[in-house]
Chain A
Amino acid sequence: MSGALELQNVTKVYKSGSTEFVALHPTTLTIAGGELVAIMGPSGSGKSTLLTIAGGLETPTSGTILVNGVDTSAMSRDQRATFRRRNVGYVFQDLNLLTALTAEENVSMPLELDGVSARNARELARAALERVGMISKAKSFPDDLSGGERQRTAIARAIVESPSSGSTSSPRVPRLLLADEPTGALDSVNGDVIMRILSEACRRGAAVVIVTHDAHLAAWADRIVFLRDGRIVDATSPPSSPDDSPLVAASPGLN
C-alpha cells in the first residue's frame, strides 16, 4: 500500500566525537491520505525527530522517505525546501508567526515566496483563514490575537492550498500536515477546536501527523503510534478493523 507519507527503515544517529546517540532505530511507518495519526511517547522518545525527518527539516542517517510517492531523501537541500513548501504543512511548537505581518500576510507569504501573485495568494490565504474560522481576524497582527487564534493562524498557513502548478490539471494530491504539540498550552475546549480543524483537513484528503504527549489530543487520531527510546513499540488498532492486532506489523523494532 502506498501512502501520503512512507518512512522505510529510517534511522537517525547523532554523533559527538566518538559517542553515538541513536535517536531513531530503523523505523517503518505508512500514513495514508485522509488519515490522522498521533505519535505519543515520553520526552526523548524520538517523536519530534521522527516528525522533522518526515517533514524534510532534518535528513535521516539512513532509510527512505516518500511523500506522495516522491523520494525526498534523495533530494538536494534546495529541491527539498521547494518540495516541502508545496507539499508539506508544518505547525511548529512555537508557531513561528511573524509579528510584523497580519494573520492574512502570514498565511499568504509562503505562497508569494513560491511565485504566486500577491492577489492570488491573498485569496488563497483568506480561504484558509475562513476554514479555521479566522476570517474576521484576517487583518489582525499576531500580538493582538489570543493563543487559540494564533494557533489557528499557524494551522491556516499549514493548510493553505497552492494553485496547481503549470497548465496540467493534475489531480489534487493529498497534502501532508505535520504538527508538533498543535494545541500548545490551550485549554481543552480550544484544543478541541484545533483538532476539529485538523480532522476537517483530513476529511479533505490530507494526511495529518501530530506529535503529542497529551492523551486528550491523541484520542482524536484514527491511529495512535507509541514511541519509546527511538522505536515504535505499539499502536492502537484502526477503527475500521476491530480485530485484535494491536502491534504495528511495520516496524522491526517491536518488543
Chain B
Amino acid sequence: MTIPHALLALLAAEPKIGLRLKEEFETRTGSVWPLNVGQVYATLQRLERDGHVSSPGTQAASSSQKLYALTPAGRTELLAWFHTPPDSTSPPRDEVVIKVMVALTVADIDVFEIIQTHRRRVLEAMQLFSRMKRDNDKDLALALVADAELFRLEASVRWLDSCDARLRSGERLVATPSFHDAPSFSSPVPPPKQQAQVRART
C-alpha cells in the first residue's frame, strides 16, 4: 500500500533508477524502514504494468540500469493517495492491551506486576528512539519517524497508567455469573438478585 506510493513520490521530481529509489526511500524515512532492492524492482514492474510509471530508457547509453519516470496517471494516483484517509475503522490489535485484558480474567496473576513489566519495556523502547533523536539532531526525517514511534508507544504507557489507576481505585470487571451462583431447583427460597462478581485482584 505505502511503498508503491512512496516510490511514485520519489519519482515526482525526475526519472530515477531503482537503486537510487531504494537509497532515497531509506534516507527520507530516517533509515528505520530498510527496503530490499528486489522489492523495489518488483514494485516498479507493477507500477509500470498499471501505467503509473514508464521507462524512458537507461541511465546512460552504456548502462543497463533502467530509468523510471512518473506518468500523468501516476501523478493523479499519487495526489489521490495523499488525500485519502487511512483506514481507521479497524484498530490495529495491541498486544499489550490483549495481555492485560486476559490477565484480568485469570486468578493468581498479579495484574499490577504485568502492567509494570510492560510499562518498563515500552519505556525502554522509547529510550531507544529518544537516543536516536538525541544523537542525530540534524536529521529531520529521522526525528519525524522517531516521533511517530514515540507517540505510539507513549499512548501505550498512558493506557497502562490509566488501567493501573482504575484497578487501584477499586473498579472491577463485571464477570458473567458463574455456575455456582445459578438458582438451584432445590432451593427453598428464591436466591437474592445476582451480584456483580469481582474477578480482578487488588
CB distance from B42 to the nearest CB of A (A): 36
Are the CB atoms of B116 and A216 closer together than 8 Å? no
CB distance from A46 to the nearest CB of B (A): 16
Interface residues of A in 206-236 (CB under 8 A from B): 213, 215-216, 218-222, 224, 226, 233-236
CB distance from B72 to the nearest CB of A (A): 38
Given contacts A224-B123, A236-B127, contact A219 B150 (CB under 8 A): yes
Instruction: Identify the closest chain A residue to B133 (Cβ).
Output: A192
Residue picked from B120, B147, B154, most chain A C-beta under 10 Å: B120
Given contacts A192-B133, A220-B134, A234-B116, contact A215 B127 (CB under 8 A): no
CB distance from A204 to the nearest CB of B (A): 15
B165 within 8 A of A: yes
> A residues within 8 A CB of B147?
188
Interface residues of B in 130-186 (CB under 8 A from A): 130-131, 133-134, 137, 147, 150-151, 153-154, 157-158, 161, 164-165
> A residues within 8 A CB of B130?
195, 219-220
CB-CB contacts of B186-201 with A at 8 A, as 1s and 0s? Answer: 0000000000000000
Please measure, in the bound complex, the distance between the C-alpha atom of A159 and the C-alpha atom of B11, giving whole angstroms: 48
Are the CB atoms of A237 and B119 closer together than 8 Å? no
CB distance from B131 to the nearest CB of A (A): 7
CB distance from A217 to the nearest CB of B (A): 9
> B residues within 8 A CB of A17?
none
Which B residues form the contact surface with A (CB < 8 A)? 113, 116, 119-120, 122-124, 126-127, 129-131, 133-134, 137, 147, 150-151, 153-154, 157-158, 161, 164-165
Partner of A236, one of B113, B123, B133, B165: B123
CB distance from B30 to the nearest CB of A (A): 15
How many interface residues does A have (CB within 8 Å)?
Answer: 25
Are the CB atoms of A233 and B116 closer together than 8 Å? yes
Are the CB atoms of A219 and B134 closer together than 8 Å? no
17 new A-B contacts at CB < 8 Å, known A196-B137, A216-B154: A40-B123, A42-B161, A192-B133, A195-B130, A196-B134, A215-B122, A219-B129, A219-B130, A219-B150, A220-B127, A224-B120, A224-B123, A226-B119, A235-B120, A239-B127, A239-B131, A246-B120
Given contacts A226-B116, A234-B116, A234-B120, contact A216 B127 (CB under 8 A): no
> A residues within 8 A CB of B131?
239
Which A residues form the contact surface with B (CB < 8 A)? 40, 42, 188, 192, 195-196, 199, 213, 215-216, 218-222, 224, 226, 233-237, 239, 246, 255
Partner of A255, one of B113, B122, B157, B165: B113
> B residues within 8 A CB of A222?
127
Please measure, in the bound complex, the distance between the C-alpha atom of A255 and the C-alpha atom of B110, giving whole angstroms: 12
Are the CB atoms of A215 and B158 closer together than 8 Å? yes
Are the CB atoms of A199 and B126 closer together than 8 Å? no
Given contacts A42-B161, A188-B147, A192-B133, contact A219 B127 (CB under 8 A): yes
Given contacts A188-B147, A233-B116, A234-B116, contact A218 B123 (CB under 8 A): yes
Instruction: Identify the closest chain A residue to B110 (Cβ).
Output: A255
CB distance from A202 to the nearest CB of B (A): 10
Are the CB atoms of B116 and A215 closer together than 8 Å? no
Are the CB atoms of B120 and A236 closer together than 8 Å? yes
> A residues within 8 A CB of B116?
226, 233-234
Are the CB atoms of B126 and A216 closer together than 8 Å? yes
Please measure, in the bound complex, the distance between the C-alpha atom of A218 and the C-alpha atom of B129, giving whole angstroms: 12
Q: Show 5 A/B contacts (Cβ-Cβ < 8 Å), sorted by A.
A: A188-B147, A215-B122, A215-B158, A218-B126, A246-B120
